[in-house]
Amino acid sequence: MIDLDIDMRQYDCPFIDTTDDVDIAFSAVQWQLDTDDEKLETRLIARADSVGALENGLHTLRDHSNMTDCYVLSKRGNVAQIGTTIEETNAMRTIQRNGGYITGPFQIENGREHWRVGFDSDEDEDHTLAELERHNEFNVEDRDQFGPTALFDLLDNSSSAMRLLEGCRSLTETERETFRIASQNGYYETPRETTLGELADHFDISKTAVSMNLRRSERKILQGALSVLDDIDDESF
User: Tens digits of per-residue pLDDT, 68-123?
Assistant: 999 999 999 999 999 999 988 899 889 988 998 888 778 999 999 988 888 989 99
**Weakly modelled stretches of the chain, pLDDT under 70:** 146-161, 228, 230-237
pLDDT for position 76: 92
Nearest to 138 by CA among 95, 74, 201, 197: 95
Q: Output DSSP code: residue 20.
A: H
Task: Report the predicted TM-score, pTM, of the whole model to 2 decimal places.
Answer: 0.62
